Amino acid sequence: MITRQEYHEACKKALQMIEEAGVYLTKEDKEKLAAADFGLSNLQQEGIQILTMFDTDRIAGKILVLFPYQTEPEHWHPAVGDDPGKEEIIRAISGDLYFYISGEDTLEQGFLVDGKESVYTMRHEVVLKPGDQLTLPAGSKHWFQAGVNGAVMYSFSTKVRDALDQFTDPHIRRETILVDSLDAKENS
């Protein structure tokens, strides 16, 4: 849960980062931007800003924004019926971007969120520079993080079913709950 003010400030900052990366956005695009805190109430540390450009029955395109040192928690896109799950291609646009996938532990540039070492199990680091891309097969567990400059990236994928994503951290809730004030946040 985050305050409405935190949410709006995060969206405003993310729009600025996208525009500084040289991506043109329409008025309609700007209205679609959302911030997700995954129910952890710590958006600046664990969260992401998402602009869904398109989402059809077969394909989707998004712009994802991470603030400096912000981490998207470890997750995977599970199979749904006969669909093996979302296959995704991440293409770095700007900033410092570190992806963590299955493989040998090579974590060097990024860091594990304090006190959450057990829910960040993927430790094979892939550093993406602007123009680099990474293909994530359906069902593959991953997490990612920005460095000092934050990161802006494209996500191109098969059908999106974000509400069904699975997370290693059992405290995660997929929906972002907004409250009017810090008092409301502390009392819930």
As assigned by CATH, the class of the 2-186 domain is mainly beta
What's the pTM? 0.94
Torsion over CA of 167, 170, 173 and 174, rounded to 10 degrees? 10
In angstroms, the CA 44 to CA 63 distance is: 18
* Among 56, 49, 53, CA closest to 26: 53
Contact at 8 Å (CB) between 2 and 179? yes
Write the DSSP assignment of 54-102 as a string of letters: EE-SSEEEEEEEE-TT-EEEEEE---BTTB----EEEEEEEEEEEEEES
Q: What is the pLDDT along the chain (188 residues), one digit of tens a residue?
A: 999 999 999 999 999 999 999 999 999 999 999 999 999 999 999 999 999 999 999 999 999 999 999 999 999 999 988 989 899 999 999 999 999 999 999 999 999 999 999 999 999 999 999 999 999 999 999 999 999 999 999 999 998 888 889 999 999 998 899 999 867 555 55
